Amino acid sequence: MLKIKSLKAYYGSICVLKSISLHIKEGEIVTLIGANGSGKSTLLNAIVGLAEKAEGSIIFKNNELLGLPPSKIVKLGIVLVPEGRQLFYPMNVMDNLLLGTYSIYSRKNRRDIQKRIEEIFEIFPELKKRKNQLAGTLSGGEQQMLSIARALMARPKFLLLDEPSIGLAPKVVENIFHILLKLRGSENLTIFLVEQNAKLALEICERGYVIETGQIVLSGSNDELKNNKEVMRAYLGRTEM
């Protein structure tokens, strides 16, 4: 579904990503783990057309993404749930959801959009209860749910999530990850997850990659990564048993 080859990305003259290559198959949940500043967010930004400068190749369903504006990438079926949620806090829940339809909105499909809102409220019943509440007054967990829900309004096929657990209580994080697992089936989603909670991320993914200083240094199945000595030491907080 997605194939990245020899990808380099820059901030100014600084090369942040150094010849990244990876692939993600349709229907998979794949995680990317790494330390702060290793290039995780830059990789996601490059995929959705937000990188300052990028070279190489990013193929999504036979479409080259490099050089396309973010709006066209969204229309191809790729949506990013950004780090920090980036909601419109002075606006209510409903308005934030409607902003997620900008790529598909027209007068002709208002009924489809209303149907989509109803589907979203079935996935996130907490948001239905607060549909008229300002986004800035929601709890951290509710804000993260709204950020994911807004992304789903565009009916993506490939969902990118950047650190969805940041600042949330463990029980809230577990609930959100449980929802992601359900979405993979109910929404036919392929998911690329960047996550600081490596332990939980490796529990729900099929495969993963480890990035260090802009380079992929390790890849494998979830079991292979969970049992790798370096991954255990650096990201799971334990040593070999």
DSSP letters of the chain? -EEEEEEEEEETTEEEEEEEEEEE-TT-EEEEE--TTSSHHHHHHHHTT--SEEEEEEEETTEE-TT--HHHHHHHTEEEE-TT----TTSBHHHHHHHTTTTT--GGGHHHHHHHHHHHHHH-HHHHHTTTSBGGGS-HHHHHHHHHHHHHTT--SEEEEE-TTTT--HHHHHHHHHHHHHHHHHS--EEEEE-S-HHHHHHH-SEEEEEETTEEEEEEEHHHHHT-HHHHHHTSS----
- The pTM assigned to this predicted structure is 0.90
Q: What is the pLDDT of residue 112?
A: 85
Has residue 10 got a pLDDT over 80? yes
**Residues 175, 141 share a domain:** no
**Residues 217, 169 share a domain:** yes
Has residue 105 got a pLDDT over 70? no
Number of domains, the chain: 2
Is 108 or 138 the better-scoring residue by pLDDT?
138
**Residues 165, 150 share a domain:** no
- Domain hosting 202: range is 1-77+160-241
Asked, for residue 82, whether it belongs to a domain, the answer is: no
Has residue 115 got a pLDDT over 70? yes
Q: Which of 126, 155, 184 is the last residue of a domain?
A: 155
Q: What is the pLDDT of residue 241?
A: 45
Residue range 175-196: mean pLDDT, rounded: 91
**Residues 233, 167 share a domain:** yes
